[in-house]
Structure 1
Amino acid sequence: MDLFFRIIKFGLTGLLGMAIDFGVTWLCKEKLKIDKYIANALGFSLAVTNNYLINRVWTFQSTNAHWGEEFSKFIIVSLIGLALNTFIIYLFHQRKNGTNFYVAKFFAIVIVFVWNFLANLMFTFR
């Protein structure tokens, strides 16, 4: 049962992260005219920081005194997730007559969610 609730908490945290990610990406890409991949990285980075703090306290209830090491692990998992995220967007969006950028981004977020949960469960917060 504990695993089920962790997945739910991780998902809720991820939804907030997705809102931050999409919001910052949209702001940077559409309003500030920053390259879409840089905008994506900025949105993703702010969401990751938010997600670490919430997941540490709420989802995984970490009491690890070495939070710097733990955050580093979270960043490693997230950077791999960012690489997967960007690669998936590239595959879906850059093809001739490709998928809309934001639809591709949504698909990437769903796929990377699975990676992030499992990697954080087994590596970051074990």
Structure 2
Amino acid sequence: MNAALARFALVGLAGSLVYFTLLWSMVDLLHWPVIPASCSAFLLVVAENYLLHRAWTFHSTAPHSQALPGFVLVSVAGCCVNGVVMALGVEWLGLNYLAVQLVAIGTVVACNFVGAQRIFRARRTFSHGKDTA
């Protein structure tokens, strides 16, 4: 396993712990409906993941104006996938929301690593004949 993949996994694990804590708190303590709670927790963790992946996972120097829109786009797509999997599992199949969420997270994470690698690469520019990435 390369270093970026290991760091990606650790950030993902931390995000998952935060996510499940938020989801459980919103549903069981605050009595929110499952789908809005799932989407809200997901969006909060996106901010955490962006900052950690940028600074630690990929040591990115890509400007926020380049990296943030791409990360948000990938995250919104992930949120949609998460919502669909949750709706299918919880609403249509009547499964436990925490069990379904494990499947949803696995589905989303599989796509996010490839997207994140591309997003956090700084654009290569050439100045005075030198690569300044």
TM-score by length of 1: 0.88
1:60 pairs with 46, 58, 61, which one? 58
1:99-118 alignment, distance < 5 Å: 99-118=95-114
User: Is the partner of 1:99 in helix, strand or coil?
Assistant: coil
Alpha-carbon distance, 1:77 to partner: 0.5
Matched, 1:77 2:74: yes
Alpha-carbon distance, 1:21 to partner: 0.8
2:120 pairs with 112, 122, 125, which one? 125
1:39 pairs with 32, 37, 40, which one? 37
1:7-46 alignment, distance < 5 Å: 7-46=5-44
TM-score by length of 2: 0.84
Distance in 2, Cα, partners of 1:95 & 1:37: 12
RMSD: 1.4
Higher mean displacement: 10-19 or 83-92: 83-92
Structure in which a larger fraction of residues adopt helix: 1
Unaligned runs of 5+ in 1: none
Distance in 1, Cα, partners of 2:41 & 2:112: 16
Contact kept? 1:60, 1:125, Cα under 8 Å = yes
Distance in 2, Cα, partners of 1:112 & 1:94: 19
Paired residue total? 121
User: Is the partner of 2:92 in helix, strand or coil?
Assistant: coil
Structure 1 segments of 4+ aligned residues over 3 angstroms from their partners: none
Distance in 2, Cα, partners of 1:34 & 1:94: 15
- Percent identical among aligned pairs is 31
Distance in 2, Cα, partners of 1:25 & 1:101: 10
User: Is the partner of 1:34 in helix, strand or coil?
Assistant: coil
Partner of 2:125: none
Letter in 1 for 2:98: Y
